[in-house]
Amino acid sequence: EVQLVESGGGLVQPGGSLRLSCAASGFSVSTNYMTWVRQAPGQGLEWVSSLYTGGTTYYADSVKDRFTISRDNSKNTLFLQMNSLTAEDTAVYYCARDKTAFFYYGLDVWGQGTTVTVSS
């Protein structure tokens, strides 16, 4: 079964760090284009970052220089390292698969989401 399972969310103080994980099954993260999307409480979806098969990474301006997307092919897992967190980063974070670049086939597999709360 093709599946994504996120973990690593939680409560963190402003200025703190958190690393999210997204374990894939039924397909390989290394041969797909992987994306993180977040949704703040009561808000719409926001694209956060994408990692392409060749290793190229893309980031939203709101997270650039603070977040790092990466993958571990041996564990078939996608990561999002989040540093210097602020209250504006509070959201449910989803990982998703894009079978091709630039969302041509759309984000066809999504995880269930993991909640990040930044508060003192």
To 5 degrees, how large is the angle CA 112–CA 116–CA 120? Answer: 160
- Name the amino acid, one letter, at 70: S
- 1 contributes a contact to other proteins by CB under 8 A: no
Q: Quick one: which of 101, 110, 2 has its CA closest to 53?
A: 101
- 9 contributes a contact to other proteins by CB under 8 A: no
Interstrand relation of 10-12 and 114-118 (parallel, antiparallel or unpaired): parallel
- 21 contributes a contact to other proteins by CB under 8 A: no
Nearer to other proteins, 31 or 44 (CB): 44
Binding other proteins (rule: CB under 8 A), the pick from 8, 23, 83, 103 is 103
Q: In the structure encoding, which two tokens stand for residue 51, read together?
A: 């990692």
Three-state SS for 76?
A: coil
Residues contacting other proteins: total by CB under 8 A: 25
Nearer to other proteins, 86 or 112 (CB): 112
CB 15, min distance to other proteins, A = 24
Tallying the residues shown for the chain, one arrives at 120
- List interacting residues with other proteins (CB under 8 A): 35, 37, 43-47, 50, 58-62, 94, 102-108, 110-113
